[in-house]
Each structure stands twice: as C-alpha cells, then as structure tokens.
Structure 1
C-alpha cells in the first residue's frame, strides 16, 4: 500500500492505534510523555489544531510546516521513541503501533471543523466520558487563556468565537446521545 506523502502547508488528520487494538497508554504519565515527545519532535515541523489521546489510539490534526520527508521522519521518531519507552516500562517487546500511521489530507474547511469536533468527542464516543473535562484532548486548551502551542486562534476562527465553538461541540454531543438512545 502506497502512503500519501505529507506536503508542506497542508493539513492532515494523523492517527494510529495499538497493534491488534492493544492499549498504548496505560497511565496518565504515558499520555503526558507522549505529548512531551510530540512537542519535542514536531516543534517547527508541524503545528497542532487538535488532538486526543485515548487508551488504544490517538488523533492529531496538524498543519505541516516543513517538507514532507522531514515531518514524516519527525512523526516516525516520535512514535519510535514512545514505543521504546513504553515497552521498557511495561516489560514488553515488539511493535506497539500498527505498521504505518494513517493520514488523511484535509482540503475542505467544513470537513476540518467537523473533524475537530469528532476528535474532541472521542472520549464520549468510546467511554461515555465528559469530553469537556477530558485531560488528553485539546478541547479545553482551545478555550483556555493559558499559553499553548496549539493553533487556538485559527481553531476558534473556524467556529467564529468561543461560544459558538462550545455550542457546535454540544450540538454534536446531543446528536450523539440521541443516536445512542435510539439503539
């Protein structure tokens, strides 16, 4: 399978999961370490719009700031560094992630908005958790006034303002809950 190359100044949904659906984050410390590695390896090569780390998978929505080979190598280094540390910590060997990280190029702003909401609602989708309080998602960081490397202003600009950002997320959440009540 030929993977689509990453292209500078384009936006991508990057995601992967544990091999065979296995857990890749057993603790909060694992998730914190993964985010620190992401900051280290992606610095100046890619900038995040949104992210979410679940126990057995993750989502990044990022814009590529460097040439495709550079960002691809940075992502590979991130995943390899994390896998080595995780394997050592839990006394396991072998691949942690599925073979290649998935990537979908995003060229449509409407789809980008829906994808941001989808990424942030992952805790609700998978574990019926309150997505607004989930610590390993960019939802709250976008609303915060604390310093962040996320593209906060751009994300809020896609929704108009903070109030509409929250409103759209809640609307999608309400639709999700209605879907589950019907099943």
Structure 2
C-alpha cells in the first residue's frame, strides 16, 4: 500500500523538499539525444581519404572514439576486447585492423604480405572475411598488382568505424569490461 501511495506523488508535491533539483524538460532530453546522434554522424563524415587510420587523433567530445582508440592501442584492454569479439563471432575485424597496422609499419616484401591479407580477410570466399563494400574490394584487388602501404586504408577505415559504432559500445557495457575496470581501480600497491 505505501508503494501505491508513493507512486501517486507528483514532482510538484515534493519540489519544496529538494530546492536545487529542477525537473528536466522533455525538449532538453530530445535535444541532447539528437546532439549525441549528430556527433556520431559528423564523426564518420569528417574522415579524409588521405589520412591514415593509425595516425588519426580524434578530436571530438564523443566518449566511444577515445575508448576504442585505447582498446586498440593498449594490450591490457585489447585481449578482453578480442575475447568479447570472439564471443560475438566478429574477431576478424580486430585481426584485420591489426594486420593492416603491421603491414603499414613494415617495408619488406609488401606484395607477399598484401596478398596474404587479401586471401585471409578480403577475398569473397575467405575463411575470415570482413564486411566491406564490393567497390572497396575491387580497388584493393586492383592495387595488389603494385601494392603500396596505403592499399588497405579504405577497408581499415570501414572496419574501424564498424567497431566504433557497433562492437565498442556493446563491449563497454559488457561484464568483461566492467570487471576489468573494477580490477584496475582496486589494485593494491605495496
């Protein structure tokens, strides 16, 4: 019975008890949600084709892009992120991104490495095929005749944005990440 009585109380009845609290207006909630969605959309549109995904410094206020960058760079976070992607059957995205980073950093035997990445991740019947457009796939296939360090940039950018919008938000709300975050806060120092 007390729950029923308490649920009938309106904000206007208790606003005198909480002097510093203001009731949020519906329009504020809608506008903040719309701004957050626009920031994500704008982030995807601002990427230039000439910029290298590994050298980008994301200058947005959005929380997820910084978290994904940290997940990809820090080995402490990369292993749990990879196991999370394995549980969702999408670990090939992370592996492709790492293979492209490795490919870009080496200078020896580019043709062999490019063909290996193409056969493993991009070929239409590949065992660990990533989700890229047909036109991107054709551009990469053409660039394999004379590969450069930047031949996989467009596909890598596409995979990065896919992880940014899809995998990373789910990982940040998963039990694996929350327990990892809790462990890092409760480390004992001797």
Report TM bin, short chain. Answer: under 0.3
Structure having greater relative contact order (Cα 8 Å, sep ≥ 6) = 1
Query: Whose Rg is larger?
Result: 2
Structure whose residues are more often helix by fraction: 2
Instruction: Calculate the TM-score normalised by the size of structure 2.
Output: 0.27
